[in-house]
Structure 1
Amino acid sequence: MLRTALDGLTVLDFTQIAAGPTATMLMADMGARVIKIESHEGELGRTLGPAWVGEDSALYHAFNRGKLGMSLDLKHPDSAAVIKRLVLQADVLVESMRPGVMARLGLGYEDLAALKPDLIYCSISAYGQEGPYADRAGVDGILQADSGLMSLIGTPNSAPSKVQAPVVDVVTGYMACMAVLAKLHAREKDGLGGHLDVSLMNSALALQQASLASFLCDGKLPTRIGSAAPYSAPNEAFEAADGWLMVAAYNGNRWPTLSMVLGHPEWIDDPRFASSAQRVVNREAMCAALTDVFHTRPVAHWLAVLREADILCSRVSDYNDVLAHPQIASNGMLVELHHPQHGVVRVPGFPVNSLEAAQTPYAPAPDNGQHSRSVLREFDFSEDEIADLLASNAMHCPEVELA
């Protein structure tokens, strides 16, 4: 089963907010034992709200399900030795510090690979581990701007906009997880670990593969065109009598079919609309003609008519619509985490459905330091050693460790 494919794999997680936590969450979803190591104050992602689950943000719970929580002060002189003992029994380490920070703590790739040559060490940063911007910090919005992605979003006269969902962070997490899985496969053959360099900048550029390829081909800067696709038409949202619908009728026989369904067979022979490329050039006239028709009836009417004619279409949904979407319910994509203190927390689940058997239940995100003692016990630390770490404040855990 996919959800247990990484059983037996141990991952040390030194990441925060969204990109790194996405990568390690996916590994946990596939059965890895992920140990999330935070400062005593907790990672920054816990503070990013509203909304809140207890004292932590919903964002933190969304990206950290299924992990074990450990709290260490990495600047404490005893902490590096603790991490090095954990590394000896770990397979993967994922970190999202600025380049050079882990090395200054004595926990850089070279330090740890000397102890465990088959360790897979994945570094996630804004711009990469080398180069003129390597030491610059960056977050999702900064990279949406710096990578050119923000220049694509919005309407012709609108201010620059960003995707509200942190898409660069999330796709970076998926890239990092993919890289780790590939390296694990290679390690099966050569027995070697390695240092993976995953950046928000590269991931943001990968998101723009189509737009960048077009620019590299013809040198024409893309313009902001709202919901439309710059390479095909109609492939955009139209306003109906009571809302918006998205229509994609640019390929094959779908434009002639759409013209007939909407009662305008003359559009089929209109030279302005003879091909998708011509409709892109004459998009304004095409959209005006289509909107005049779509305005006359509600969204539900058009969805029924267009689907009957095999025209690709959808309601432009808000999250209330998403919660009621029958396919999302069928896919089991919105899952419940049962937290011992906060009850049920709902989040998006693992995005790949296993058709082999029932899905493995999801565990909630950990409280800060929740499993500090139990993790060290599993890694053969004695009770006296654990007590010393707590007494020196190198490690933190709750008075009563939750299950």
Structure 2
Amino acid sequence: MSALSGIVVLELSRVLAGPWCGMILADLGADVIKLEPFDGDDTRGLGPPFKDGLSAYFACCNRNKRSVAIDLRSPAARPLLEALVREADVLIENYRTGTAETLGVGFDGLAAINPRLVYCSISGYGRDGPGAMRPGYDYVVQAQAGLMSITGQAEGEPHKVGVAVSDLATGQNAAIAILAALRHRDRTGQGQRIDVSLFDSQLAALANVGSSALFTGEDAGRYGNAHASIVPYQAFHGRDGAFVLAVASEKLWLQTCDALGREDWLRDPRYVNNAARVRHRDALCAEMQAVFENESCAHWLALFESAGVPCAPINSVKQALEDPVALARGMRMEIGGVPMVGSPLHLTLTPVRYERAPPDLGQHSDEIAAHYGMDAAALRAAGAIR
């Protein structure tokens, strides 16, 4: 029995934020039915790479789901859609504002069919406010919500993060909100509408950087691989490459100095505490770099590991996926010959499930039509499904 067994989710979303939310719920046991247009989710075509016609992009966020290829504009599709809605617990959509209503899947209309429905809208800038009609893409939100301004080398140009973190944070926030709404529905019997946006999610994810700007009234800067308010907490270069060191407490600073045999740093008033080290970061980090360049990265990593100081090599993606921690934690898995990164959610009594490979477009159209007592061949002939 999975945590969300018995929960039915209709996913009318595409690309990443909505499907990421749907996959979280599916991994936890929900029956997620992905309603796709006849040409499918956009990410089915985003590649290479492909494996037997399946894009890696689509595979990353669509396991454990069933797919129905349906034309929501077709009147012949309406009986099947309404049957799905009556049985559903959750609906996820990420259309442009107003499009869901045009397609007949807006909140008010579906809530009239099923008042217990938890309806989650995902958008770029929210369903109200001055950005409501704007399309939302991770890249432009990283730019507008401040993330790019703090990413990249201090003297260089702003950079986006190498993965769509605004989309991913939004998908996770949507899943959290859905679980909260289901809990409320369990107590009251009432469904509700959820409004989650990429912009809001990314702004909130600025975390301490956003808080610092509010505290000081000053803009945040870029620090490259260093940290704005913790020193030393950055990348250093050994004789043969780079590694990262994270000295995030006074205890760790003591351990670092002990490991390096530099008790003089403990007595230096410039380095007496973190606030002092932040003020004198250039001097300290230059001294540390002069030490590190004399030995290999492996030497320093072994030294700091032994001393209990957080450190790590700067792995490639392939190296990270092959890391012993990734293997031991079950973070590499495969379903039906499709390799995927596993779920980070580890529950002792209701573990996540890995049952369905990412579906082919419309793979389950006939199965789902039959479940509701409808003739799939007739629906197909009427142009309702594929």
Gaps of 5+ in 2: none
Is 1:367 the counterpart of 2:356 in the alignment?
no
**Distance in 1 of aligned mates of 2:251 and 2:91:** 51
**Distance in 2 of aligned mates of 1:23 and 1:379:** 26
**Distance in 2 of aligned mates of 1:146 and 1:45:** 24
Contact 2:92 2:121 in 1 (8 A): yes
Corresponding residue number in structure 2 for 1:291: 289
TM-superposed deviation, 1:41: 0.7
Corresponding residue number in structure 2 for 1:147: 145
Match of residue 328, structure 1, among 312, 326, 329: 326
Change beyond 3 A, Cα 1:198–1:359: closer
Is 1:387 the counterpart of 2:377 in the alignment?
yes
**Distance in 2 of aligned mates of 1:194 and 1:125:** 17
User: For residues 83-104 of structure 1, what are the alpha-carbon distances to aligned partners after superposition, in whole Å with 9 as ceiling and x for unaligned?
Assistant: 1121011111100101111111
Match of residue 346, structure 2, among 331, 344, 353: 353
Corresponding residue number in structure 2 for 1:378: 371
Task: State the AA in 2 paired with 1:101.
Answer: T
TM-superposed deviation, 1:182: 0.6
Contact 2:29 2:352 in 1 (8 A): no
Corresponding residue number in structure 1 for 2:205: 207
Is 1:277 the counterpart of 2:275 in the alignment?
yes
Task: State the AA in 2 paired with 1:371.
Answer: H
Gaps of 5+ in 1: 339-343, 397-403
Is 1:105 the counterpart of 2:87 in the alignment?
no
Contact 1:80 1:107 in 2 (8 A): no
SS in 2 for 1:78: helix
Alignment of 1:257-272 (within 5 A): 257-272=255-270
Q: Give the TM-score of the pair, scaled to structure 1.
A: 0.92
**Distance in 2 of aligned mates of 1:8 and 1:305:** 51
SS in 2 for 1:395: coil
Match of residue 166, structure 2, among 165, 168, 171: 168
**Distance in 2 of aligned mates of 1:190 and 1:358:** 28
TM-superposed deviation, 1:274: 1.6
SS in 2 for 1:88: helix
Task: State the AA in 1 paired with 2:110.
Answer: L
**Distance in 2 of aligned mates of 1:58 and 1:323:** 15
**Distance in 2 of aligned mates of 1:314 and 1:119:** 46
Is 1:89 the counterpart of 2:79 in the alignment?
no
Contact 1:23 1:176 in 2 (8 A): yes
User: For residues 26-48 of structure 1, what are the alpha-carbon distances to aligned partners after superposition, in whole Å with 9 as ceiling and x for unaligned?
Assistant: 11101111110111111111122
Change beyond 3 A, Cα 1:310–1:22: same
Taking only aligned residues, the RMSD between alpha carbons, in angstroms, comes to 1.5
Match of residue 22, structure 1, among 17, 20, 23: 20
Task: State the AA in 2 paired with 1:254.
Answer: L
SS in 1 for 2:353: coil
Task: State the AA in 2 paired with 1:257.
Answer: Q
User: For residues 59-100 of structure 1, what are the alpha-carbon distances to aligned partners after superposition, in whole Å with 9 as ceiling and x for unaligned?
Assistant: 101100010010011222323342112101111110010111
Contact 2:28 2:352 in 1 (8 A): no
Task: State the AA in 1 paired with 2:377.
Answer: A
Deviates more, 1:253-262 or 1:288-297: 253-262
Contact 2:93 2:120 in 1 (8 A): yes
**Distance in 2 of aligned mates of 1:366 and 1:276:** 51
Contact 2:28 2:351 in 1 (8 A): no
**Distance in 2 of aligned mates of 1:239 and 1:260:** 20
Contact 1:80 1:105 in 2 (8 A): no
Deviates more, 1:274-283 or 1:317-326: 317-326
Task: State the AA in 2 paired with 1:68.
Answer: R
Task: State the AA in 1 paired with 2:362.
Answer: G
SS in 1 for 2:254: helix
Task: State the AA in 2 paired with 1:130.
Answer: D
Deviates more, 1:62-71 or 1:75-84: 75-84
TM-superposed deviation, 1:226: 0.8
User: For residues 345-371 of structure 1, what are the alpha-carbon distances to aligned partners after superposition, in whole Å with 9 as ceiling and x for unaligned?
Assistant: 211111112334876333201000010
Contact 1:127 1:136 in 2 (8 A): yes
User: For residues 236-257 of structure 1, what are the alpha-carbon distances to aligned partners after superposition, in whole Å with 9 as ceiling and x for unaligned?
Assistant: 1111122221111241232233
Contact 1:331 1:353 in 2 (8 A): no
Alignment of 1:216-235 (within 5 A): 216-235=214-233
